[in-house]
Amino acid sequence: MHAVLKRIWRDPGGRAGLLLVAAVLLLGLAGPWMVPHDPNKLNILARFGGPSAAHWLGTDHLGRDLLSRLADGGRVALLVALSTIAVALAAGTLLGTAAAYAPPQGERSILAAFDIISAFPSLVFALAVVALMGPGLDKVILIVAVTLVPHFGRVARAQTLSLRNSPFLEAERVLGASPLRLALHHLVPNILGPLVVLASMDVPVVITIEAGLSFLGVGVPPPRASWGTLLHDGYTTLSQSPWPVIAAGAVLTLATLGFTLFGEALRDAIDPKLRTEP
């Protein structure tokens, strides 16, 4: 773990990514306690304010403090990203390894399910879910997690297929290891590397999907802040003040850039082919 972080730090892109990720984490996790204003407190008289000592990034069309709302939106973005990826990683690994070990028919049906999910436009799926169940943070997490499962499932299956006949798994069978032990102690630890890299590369994707859904009004329902809703509100009132769009756009861009750079550096750092440990 320490060695991996060190290798990421040595790479210029990785270093920039690490710093940006740290800044986003700080903003999202610690921000709500550090910022001086309640993100949902209205102050109509102070609306469309530019940056000032009291409001560092200004105020939105309802006079709410932009910095506070960005921090709150960051929290939402991180929450959605981490929970969807955790769910998709777990479900994808389970289904992918099951597909690799299943008889041909079972494998085909799991792969067909992956194909259907991938082929279905995720936005239409999102609109359908929201129309049926109403908007909500939990629905956003559900929608994004389902669309990501095939990602992880396909990689998990390919990795499992490449390891399924490896001598060390046979050696464990000769020792009498149970299938559960084989899976948890020997298979999963050895297929996790590529899946973790994929997970880190998916963080910016999930953040943009969440922002996109919220921008379209099918994501996180107001008054809860999200970078997508901030952008949408800022966009509709762009003629009054450019600050909400600039602030939310910049944070969204920097966050996705940071996670992308971090993900790429992480991939390079834990790719076993590049490993030169003694």
Partner 1 sequence: MSHPLLSLALLSLDGLSLNYGTVPAVRAVSFDLHPGETLSVVGESGSGKSSLIRTALGLVPPTAGTVRFDGREVKSLRGREAKAFRRDVQMIFQDPAAALSPRMTVRSLLAEPLRIHGVAERDTWPGVLDLLRRVGLPESVLDKHPHQISGGQARRVGIARALVLRPRLLVADEPTAGLDLSVQGDIVNLLVGLQRDFGLTILMVSHNLDVVRAMSDRVLVLYLGRAVEVGRAEHVLNVPAHPYTRALLAAVPRFDPGNRHRAPPLRGEVPSPRNPPSGCAFHPRCPLADARCRAEEPAERILTDGHRVACHHPLHAVPAAA
Q: Which is nearer to partner 1, 109 or 178 (CB)?
A: 178
Instruction: Assess 104 for contact with partner 1 (CB under 8 A).
Output: no
Q: Which amino acid is at 121?
A: P
Supply the DSSP symbol for 40: T
Residue from the set 13, 186, 212, 217 that interacts with partner 1 by CB under 8 A: 186
How many whole angstroms from its chain centre is CA 278? 34
Strand partners, 65: 59
Instruction: Assess 185 for contact with partner 1 (CB under 8 A).
Output: yes
Instruction: Assess 189 for contact with partner 1 (CB under 8 A).
Output: yes
247 vs 13, 113, 154, 188, 215, CA distance in Å? Answer: 23, 40, 37, 41, 15
Residue 276: CB minimum distance to partner 1, A = 11
Q: Which is nearer to partner 1, 82 or 196 (CB)?
A: 196
- Taking alpha carbons only, the member of 23, 64, 19 closest to residue 45 is 64
Residue 188: CB minimum distance to partner 1, A = 10
Q: Which is nearer to partner 1, 142 or 161 (CB)?
A: 161
Which residues in 130-169 contact partner 1 (CB under 8 A)?
Answer: 166-168
For 4, the token pair is 């991996």
Residues 68 and 131 sit within 8 Å (Cβ to Cβ): no
Q: Residue 277: helix, strand or coil by DSSP?
A: coil
Query: What number of other Cβ atoms are within 10 A of residue 272's Cβ?
Result: 9
Q: Which is nearer to partner 1, 168 or 235 (CB)?
A: 168
Residue 193: CB minimum distance to partner 1, A = 10
- Taking alpha carbons only, the member of 248, 29, 229 closest to residue 137 is 229
Supply the DSSP symbol for 65: B
Residues 215 and 231 sit within 8 Å (Cβ to Cβ): yes
Q: Which is nearer to partner 1, 34 or 171 (CB)?
A: 171
x/- string (CB under 8 A) for partner 1, residues 24-53?
A: ------------------------------
Residue 2: CB minimum distance to partner 1, A = 16
Residue from the set 174, 180, 239, 273 that interacts with partner 1 by CB under 8 A: 174
- Taking alpha carbons only, the member of 125, 145, 148 closest to residue 137 is 145
Instruction: Assess 181 for contact with partner 1 (CB under 8 A).
Output: yes
Q: Which is nearer to partner 1, 113 or 163 (CB)?
A: 163
Instruction: Assess 271 for contact with partner 1 (CB under 8 A).
Output: no
Residue from the set 23, 172, 201, 221 that interacts with partner 1 by CB under 8 A: 172
In the chain the first and final C-alpha atoms are separated, in Å, by 16
Q: Which is nearer to partner 1, 121 or 278 (CB)?
A: 278
Q: Write out the residues near partner 1 by the rule CB under 8 A.
A: 166-168, 170-178, 181, 185-186, 189-190, 277-278
